Structure 1
Amino acid sequence: MPTCKYCSYITSPLLGDDHLEPGTGTSKHHESISALIESSQHCQSCSFFLNQLVLDIDEIKEAAEFGSPSPVSIETIVHRHARGRSLLAEDSLDFRIKVSSEGLPLSGEAGKVWHSDWLEYCTNKYPYASRPIWSSQNVTSLPLTQRCSVIKKWIKQCEDTHAHCNSERDNDFQRPARIIDVKTSGIHTVKLVPGHIALADNAPYIALSHCWGDKQIPQSTTTKSVLEYYDSITTSSLPRTFQDAISIVQHLNVQYLWIDSLCIIQDDAADWEKESAKMADIFRNAYAIVAAAAGHDSSGGCGVKIKPTVCIRIPSAVDPHHRKVFIRRRMNQQLKHSPLNARAWVLQELVLARRILHFMNDQIFWQCHELVESENGIRTSYPPVDARNRSLAMAVSPEYVFATAHGCGEPNLWWRWVVNFSRRSLSRRSDRLPAMAGLTKLYEKDSSDRPVIGLWKKDLLVHLTWTTTALWREIKPYRHPGAIPSWTWASLEDCSFATPDFSNSRKIAPRSEIIGIDIEYSGQPLTSPLNHGKIFLRCKVEERKLTSGDELHPDTRPGRLYQRNEIKDTTVHIITLFVWHPIVPQNWSAETDIVSINYESLVVEATARGSEYRRVGLLQHRERPMTPEVALDSWDGYMKETWGKLQEDDFGDRIICLV
């Protein structure tokens, strides 16, 4: 099918030898919707544009009948690959069609503009054009068999050239109790096998990451079904996502697959706690992770079958072999906004995994420590190889998946994870701490620090200064059997948090002393309910009448920063954790600069048990002694006269318990 003169014109830059200049623009297309509809009968590109319009077909016909005088236009954007940034690979072109309906009585709206999703174009002169996602035409859908060729190339490249990805595996890791054998049972069946036997010789296995959804998965392994599943599991009885995962693993010639709901006995609390505690090892040592990124639940599938690419032929005076132009809709759902990426559990899976295959509805994304690439080859990035410094604050979008921490210390990395985690959802509220267990173990190993229910023993006074960022709405305390103590961020739900300051640009003087930590779990540490969590402090509990120099951050109802005029003359009880001042540069001048003394204090309320207190907020108080009015000749003089006295003050003899 030939192309019209307009489509030939807008795609002609792709057929030349010169590189495209990065930028955006708008090209004139057909004069009306009617002309576009007529052209679609003989121009394959126009037909594709018309089918992509975000517009009801009746409205299209109505506009055509009115003889819309409004022109059709094409927006273009040229992307240039840049080293170190996650742009499009080499030179390629994106299009979006726009149709204005100004003056037409459509849906009662005047001046309405319809537009299509962005479309991706490439020509057969680019290396990635040979991939099946581009080159397969004249088929109703692109089967997994063809698509796996790209996956196998990614895996081979990673195994052969990515030293960091291959060094992550630990031969002495904790094997899962059970794993699914997808090969030896039969054509239409799989079965559970003991993990310590199947993986004894470090046989490769793949783990599935997926959304559970709001409903329990009926095919989950239970105490009643586990023996039956050791014998066989009929593949067709499983949810679509599980069936797709089995097919993917078989096509990749891997024998074993781990799926949480099948490999953990769901109605056995002891088994669940024990196996959940192995999550760090399971995901870190998996050959790869298959992520069903687009599915809202286990019935959503992995998107193993997708629509084929449209191929159009455009005359070219440059080279007759470069006349093919391939068109696809641009990925309509970014990875960072995918249903799977909204799950709290998936954060540790993303951080721990060596290799991830993100299956979207329209293409696959590869992610490892050294490469992020889309199936169509257009989007490519090269992340840093230091896994500890990976910041997943932007989750799994190709642009930001491996942004570095820019020299931040380990506590800052931990709090990036906390902030990211707190924005995600959980099907079961009781999973709040278990869903962070894998990250906790990773951080514990890398930092040699001791976990304290979402905080850390080293610099614990600073960790305690977290605040909520849920402005102007009520935050509910987290309540479940084995209540989480008030002093940790995990005691609150449905809110995000501000990171405590661990920078090296300030000097700290403690005003409280931690003399003991008592944490007891009902079973497996990190994954079972808490019996209690207590911090013992030697400190002063003081009554304070708030002033205009105070900033109050209540933990609940609502968790916002109160304006100074709202809290003036309010009386609270506080425990000052530490005092700090910024490290003053050598060129500091008392004539121009203001240096403050800052007090970080917990706002507490007494329980019915004498010396027990519960955290209810954070109070920040600032004093500014170093102003032009202060008669001190130098910062050194101030240090001797004022800061020295603060450091000499004792903490008092009172021992209190934070619960």
Structure 2
Amino acid sequence: MTLCKTCSSLVLEELWNADFVLHENLQALIHSAESGCTFCNLCWVQIQRERTWDVDLCLAGSCNGMGGKTIVDPTIYLQAHWQMPNSEQNVPSRLWISCGPLPNSSAEGLTSQGLSTSLCIFADPGTPAESLFEERYITVDHNPNGHIAWTQRALDFCQRNHKVCEHASRSAPRQMPTRIIDVGPVSSPTSPPTQPPRLVLAKDLPSPEPYTALSYCWGQGVGDKLELRRHTLATLLTHMPLASLTRTHQDAIRFTRALGIRYLWIDALCILQGDPADWARESKRMGSVYGGAYLTIIASRASDSADGFLANSYRTASQNLIPAPCPLPCGASPLARAGPALGTVYVTAPRSTAGGPVDARGWCFQESLLAHRAISFGTEQLLYSCRTAKRYEDGDRSLVVSGSSFRRLAGPDPGPRGEVLRSWYAMLQNFSPRALTEPHDVFACIASLALVAHRVLRCRYLAGLWEADIPRGLVWRSQFRYFLPIKTAVVRPRASGFRMGEGKGEVVRRAPSWSWASVQGPVVWPAAVLRGEVGVDLFVRPREAGGWTVDDGVGEPDALYMPWLELRMWARPVRVRRGGRTTGEYAAALSVAGRKEWKAAHTKYGMLLEGFESGGVVAVGYFDVLGEEEPENMWCLRIVKREGILLTRDEQEKFHRIGWLAVLEEERWFGRVGEQAVDLV
């Protein structure tokens, strides 16, 4: 390691909450970095990665400061901040780099320029600084086995300090999954196993035991390796050769052993593959499987089970070379400012908190929500999460505000009826963009969450919506680019090719047209629905005394398949046609006040809908799936005051949803149409 004259004399103790001049300006920092100084190079690389300011202005010695002021202070400062051990506050230890002093600088007469970035500080296990700096750096070339001690420390802290988590553990199911992997007795984390892993039946164990559960992406790896099938069951009950398992399965076994836990649940090895009856039975038990696990292991960084997840190689695998951690001497404790030296700590570039490929998979969504405690092996670092807090390997942390999040839905207290409905729609918005290998699994993926919601709602569960709130549930919207610059397109579900009678890639029906599950891709609900505003202005009502449907045998919260379901209602559909004007032309003809109100609905994807016979604007409509053939007949159905759905009608007089709409001139049209029977399929 090569250091310039200034950096060779750096001691972290001197940087605590005090501006330290590193270089006279940015040019000097760059020159030092290009001359080979390891620390200056790390600072300059981070400045370029962050790009939170105009580097050209800083190089010119003039930066736009806060409040619009122009401040000339090109000096490059360092200032360190330290996180108290065992704190739940989101103030990790960081070393700040700034052009000009930071806002809390003691320097007088200068205003913060806001041109700053930071480096992470961490300590190695076994060093004097270990107990004062909880931040760690765990990669294949630095502390490669650190994930074991880090996870155990996070678990211990949670068990000692989190009352909510303790309550969740006590209320968790006191039963084990039907089948479980015995990873073998381990006397200590460093001791070799005394026996190979094997599959056991929970009913044969004298009492329930703590176990871990794995959440991961299957990829192609599972199909190429050993899995539980009828013809392998007898073998797996005697032994489970590690070499025959995927790397992810091997990693999960090793990690469970290292934590001193004897049992592990993995779907491919604990559910009979190719057995529809066993799959249906076990998939309905996911709530108890993940909810009852002592710890859920999330292999977030692996897109395929053949890859494994324990080894963190993000720095070596990065396309952009990330500088290695730089050692930095540390004097006394930041609190004491005296006493024995803490030895060497390290500084390094910040790491992403992104999870990885698992975050895009449908099955993994429910698994992460149901877990009381989870350790996620993210793309660049570890994350420990529980019902109380999130804690990252680099010291970043935050409290979990469960009451304002859809995550509360899977907790021990999902909340009152209104809160459960709000949580349900918020949950669906987060679930819908996720990918499914088998599109027909859409309801199975959230069946355990539906069971939790049903305990409060106590009504029928109809194709992903709740009968007690059907009108608001119907006004979902396909999330095109007019909401956010998203990459996931909204399409019709397509066959995986695994189900008999379906050709791979052909469009399949997995839900009624009125259900959000009739499309694949991100969907959203209007803000008023998410806020839980239950308006009295509903313009549809059930036609049957027993509810919205007369179909027998439907409505169970753990239903796995609901491709056909008819809603029967009284409503006022208005037949429409595509208008002759564009939405832009319509907006231009409005008054100033009208244009302001229109702004929320006016997008390039919308189309004006006019009365079929007499013309005149009814609504602006949007197709659920862009590019589909426009039907010969279209109908507007108003659901709530300003929201509705776009329909077409078939030869049997049944209505099918094809899109959604924003009502524009409601009284002119919907107030004059008589109520009639509507069958929505």
Q: Same fold (TM over 0.5)?
A: yes
- 2:17 aligned partner: 19
- 1:586 aligned partner: none
1:546-557 maps to which residues of 2 (within 5 A)? Answer: 546=611, 547-548=616-617, 550-557=619-626
Q: What is the deviation of 1:486?
A: 0.4
Aligned-partner Cα distance in 1 for 2:227–2:141: 34
Which of 433, 448, 462 is the aligned partner of 1:423? Answer: 433
- 2:65 aligned partner: none
- 1:60 aligned partner: none
Q: What is the deviation of 1:457?
A: 0.9
Cα-to-partner distance string for 1:83-118 (whole Å, 9 max, x where unaligned): 9996333x5215699xxxxxxxxxxxxxxxxxxx97
Which of 218, 236, 241 is the aligned partner of 1:234? Answer: 241
1:222-261 maps to which residues of 2 (within 5 A)? Answer: 222-261=229-268
Tell me the secondary structure at the aligned position of residue 148 of structure 2: helix
Q: Is the 8 A contact 2:447 2:560 kept in 1?
A: no
- 1:432 aligned partner: 442
Tell me the secondary structure at the aligned position of residue 168 of structure 1: helix
Cα-to-partner distance string for 1:12-45 (whole Å, 9 max, x where unaligned): 5x31385358x999875785878646655xxx64
Tell me the secondary structure at the aligned position of residue 327 of structure 2: strand
- 1:341 aligned partner: 359
Tell me the secondary structure at the aligned position of residue 5 of structure 1: coil
- 1:658 aligned partner: 680
Q: Is the 8 A contact 1:26 1:76 kept in 2?
A: no
Equivalent residue letter for 2:329: R
Task: Report the CA distance shift for 1:606/1:152 in structure 2 as closer, same or farther (over 3 A).
Answer: same
Aligned-partner Cα distance in 1 for 2:181–2:34: 52
- 1:371 aligned partner: 389
Aligned-partner Cα distance in 1 for 2:30–2:538: 72
- 2:91 aligned partner: 88
Alignment pair present for 1:575 and 2:585: no
Aligned-partner Cα distance in 1 for 2:376–2:541: 48
- 2:658 aligned partner: 616
Equivalent residue letter for 2:17: H
- 2:218 aligned partner: 212
- 2:162 aligned partner: 162
Which of 181, 204, 208 is the aligned partner of 1:202? Answer: 208
- 1:4 aligned partner: 4
Aligned-partner Cα distance in 2 for 1:329–1:521: 59
1:171-570 maps to which residues of 2 (within 5 A)? Answer: 172=173, 175-183=176-184, 187=194, 189-198=196-205, 201-214=207-220, 216-218=222-224, 219-304=226-311, 310-313=326-329, 321-322=340-341, 324-330=343-349, 332-336=351-355, 338-360=356-378, 362-376=380-394, 378-384=395-401, 386=402, 389-391=404-406, 409-471=419-481, 475-478=490-493, 483-499=510-526, 501-502=528-529, 503-504=532-533, 506-515=535-544, 516-517=548-549, 526=558, 528-530=560-562, 532-544=564-576, 545-546=610-611, 547-548=616-617, 550-558=619-627
Instruction: Give TM-score scaled by structure 2 length.
Output: 0.69
Q: Is the 8 A contact 1:513 1:651 kept in 2?
A: no
Which of 595, 599, 606 is the aligned partner of 2:649? Answer: 606
Tell me the secondary structure at the aligned position of residue 359 of structure 2: helix
Aligned-partner Cα distance in 2 for 1:165–1:548: 55
Segment of structure 1 superposing worse, 189-198 or 165-174: 165-174
Task: Report the CA distance shift for 1:129/1:235 in structure 2 as closer, same or farther (over 3 A).
Answer: farther
Q: What is the deviation of 1:190?
A: 0.8
Cα-to-partner distance string for 1:141-191 (whole Å, 9 max, x where unaligned): 4243x5423322322222233222122244656642211110159646211
- 1:58 aligned partner: none
Aligned-partner Cα distance in 2 for 1:520–1:246: 45
Cα-to-partner distance string for 1:202-225 (whole Å, 9 max, x where unaligned): 311110111122554322222222
Cα-to-partner distance string for 1:416-445 (whole Å, 9 max, x where unaligned): 111111222223222222112222222222
Q: What is the deviation of 1:119?
A: 4.0
Q: Is the 8 A contact 1:292 1:340 kept in 2?
A: yes
Q: What is the deviation of 1:328?
A: 4.7
Q: What is the deviation of 1:314?
A: 6.6
Aligned-partner Cα distance in 1 for 2:24–2:223: 51
Equivalent residue letter for 1:577: I
Equivalent residue letter for 2:328: I
Task: Report the CA distance shift for 1:363/1:84 in structure 2 as closer, same or farther (over 3 A).
Answer: closer
Aligned-partner Cα distance in 2 for 1:361–1:467: 32
Aligned-partner Cα distance in 1 for 2:468–2:555: 25
Aligned-partner Cα distance in 2 for 1:252–1:141: 20
Tell me the secondary structure at the aligned position of residue 197 of structure 2: strand
Tell me the secondary structure at the aligned position of residue 310 of structure 2: coil
Task: Report the CA distance shift for 1:131/1:188 in structure 2 as closer, same or farther (over 3 A).
Answer: farther
Task: Report the CA distance shift for 1:153/1:618 in structure 2 as closer, same or farther (over 3 A).
Answer: same
Aligned-partner Cα distance in 2 for 1:450–1:522: 8
- 1:108 aligned partner: none
Tell me the secondary structure at the aligned position of residue 208 of structure 1: strand
Q: Unaligned stretches of 5+ in structure 1? A: 56-71, 98-116, 394-403, 581-597, 626-641
Q: What is the deviation of 1:549?
A: 5.1
Task: Report the CA distance shift for 1:489/1:520 in structure 2 as closer, same or farther (over 3 A).
Answer: farther
Equivalent residue letter for 2:568: F
Aligned-partner Cα distance in 2 for 1:464–1:26: 61
Task: Report the CA distance shift for 1:224/1:120 in structure 2 as closer, same or farther (over 3 A).
Answer: same
Structure ranking higher in strand proportion? 1
Q: Is the 8 A contact 2:460 2:555 kept in 1?
A: no
Aligned-partner Cα distance in 1 for 2:196–2:646: 59
Equivalent residue letter for 1:428: E
Q: Is the 8 A contact 2:248 2:309 kept in 1?
A: yes
Task: Report the CA distance shift for 1:257/1:508 in structure 2 as closer, same or farther (over 3 A).
Answer: same
Aligned-partner Cα distance in 2 for 1:268–1:156: 40
Q: Is the 8 A contact 2:509 2:563 kept in 1?
A: yes
Aligned-partner Cα distance in 2 for 1:541–1:624: 12
- 1:592 aligned partner: none
Equivalent residue letter for 1:536: R
Report % sequence identity.
21
Tell me the secondary structure at the aligned position of residue 565 of structure 2: strand
Q: Is the 8 A contact 1:122 1:325 kept in 2?
A: no
Task: Report the CA distance shift for 1:276/1:174 in structure 2 as closer, same or farther (over 3 A).
Answer: farther
Equivalent residue letter for 2:345: F
Q: Is the 8 A contact 1:80 1:87 kept in 2?
A: no
Segment of structure 1 superposing worse, 353-362 or 257-266: 353-362
Tell me the secondary structure at the aligned position of residue 461 of structure 1: helix
Q: What is the deviation of 1:575?
A: 3.4
Equivalent residue letter for 1:510: F
Query: How many equivalent pairs are there?
Result: 555
Q: What is the deviation of 1:304?
A: 4.6
Tell me the secondary structure at the aligned position of residue 305 of structure 2: coil
Q: Is the 8 A contact 1:354 1:368 kept in 2?
A: yes
Aligned-partner Cα distance in 1 for 2:98–2:267: 41
Task: Report the CA distance shift for 1:266/1:176 in structure 2 as closer, same or farther (over 3 A).
Answer: same
Equivalent residue letter for 1:210: Y
Q: Is the 8 A contact 1:365 1:372 kept in 2?
A: yes
